[in-house]
Amino acid sequence: MDDPLLQALGWLAGVMTFALCLVSALGQTRACRRHLREAARAIDGRVRGNGWGERPRLDFAVDGIPAEFVYSPGPWARVRFRWSAPGRLRIAPAGESAGARRLPGDLGYDVPEFAGGYDVEGGPEAWVLESLSDETRGCVLALAALGAPTGGSVPIRIDVGPFGLSVFYRGNPAAEHELLTGFLSLSSRLLRGLRGDSPAGAPAESAEEVAADGRCPVCGVGLDGVLRRCQRCRTFHHGDCWEYFGGCAMYGCFSRQAERVRLE
Ligand SMILES: [Zn+2]
Ligand SMILES: [Zn+2]
């Protein structure tokens, strides 16, 4: 590659590849935003974060319970309902829940339909067993089959607790119209299945109140050891809870930038 012409051509090819990647990425972002707007119209929601470089999100409500959907950056997209569950339930791809903080009193459960695919843990036991109804299990399996090749599945994660119901999907449902509407409607069905007849209304204890009380907004337990402090809203999280949740757990924050802080 001593020939200056070859060098120039190589350089030009590099620049053009970069430009093509940029154009394709911008096109994908535009398609995602369009799908969000279409979904918003169908469910009476609102797309926020329309500015340059801002991460778009979809705000909507199900039976009066506020919800938010976000995707990227990172491997997981998620929808989160601001509903205060009377117990904790986590459904995660087998082996992956190991990274999550197991709370005092949480137990593991065997669900035959999820065998080998998903681990289930939570508490109190009576509430978890009641929550794992036919409807709930069906919703989870339908979510995992969404966008997957026939007979296959996509990793999903369900996290239910006092600070909300979050449904995580590995991939970006907003990339396809059908995928996004399917994801949102199955997640809403899951919320209804879990809530049963319990009334809507404000959470018994919001993530904001928990954080103000010096506890972690992911697990609700007191903070100690090596923590993460969100660079945007300054809220402290346990390090493992931050990793598990994929960023800040405060409603409407969505930051993935944090500094490590050791609390004495
Ligand atoms: Zn925590
Ligand atoms: Zn934050």
Burial of 151 (0-12, 13-18, 19+ CB in 10 A): exposed
Residue 161 Cα, ligand 2 centroid: separation in angstroms? 19
The tokens for 133 are: 């109804």
**Rounded distance between C-alpha atoms, residue 195 and residue 189, angstroms:** 10
Residue 261 Cα, ligand 2 centroid: separation in angstroms? 15
pLDDT of residue 200: 54
Residue 146 Cα, ligand 2 centroid: separation in angstroms? 30
**Rounded distance between C-alpha atoms, residue 13 and residue 130, angstroms:** 60
**Rounded distance between C-alpha atoms, residue 47 and residue 25, angstroms:** 20
Residue 217 Cα, ligand 1 centroid: separation in angstroms? 6
Distances (CA, A) of 90 to 87, 118, 142, 263: 10, 10, 17, 27
Question: What CATH class is the domain 207-263?
Answer: alpha beta
Of the candidates 73, 76, 81, the residue with the CA atom closest to the CA atom of residue 255: 73
Contact criterion met (CB below 8 Å) for 47 and 33:
yes
Residue 187 Cα, ligand 1 centroid: separation in angstroms? 24
- Residue 160 CA from chain centroid, whole number: 12
Ligand at shortest distance from the CA of 242? 1
Ligand at shortest distance from the CA of 222? 1
Instruction: DSSP for 162-208, please give it.
Output: TTEEEEEEES-GGGSHHHHHHHHHHHHHHHHHHHTT---SS-SS-HH
Residue 68 Cα, ligand 2 centroid: separation in angstroms? 15
pLDDT of residue 151: 82
- Residue 239 CA from chain centroid, whole number: 17
Look at the alpha carbons of 192, 198, 202, 204 in this order and tell me if their dihedral is positive or negative.
negative
* 264 residues of the chain, pLDDT tens digit each: 578 888 888 898 888 888 887 777 777 788 999 999 999 999 999 999 877 777 789 999 999 999 999 987 678 899 999 988 888 899 998 877 656 677 777 889 999 988 878 999 999 999 999 999 999 999 999 999 998 888 888 899 999 988 889 999 999 999 999 999 999 999 999 999 999 866 554 456 777 788 888 889 888 888 988 899 999 999 999 998 898 888 898 888 888 899 999 876
Q: Where are the domains of the chain?
A: 1-203, 207-263
Contact criterion met (CB below 8 Å) for 249 and 241:
yes
Expressed in angstroms, the distance from the first to the final Cα of the chain is 58
Ligand at shortest distance from the CA of 100? 1
Ligand at shortest distance from the CA of 159? 1
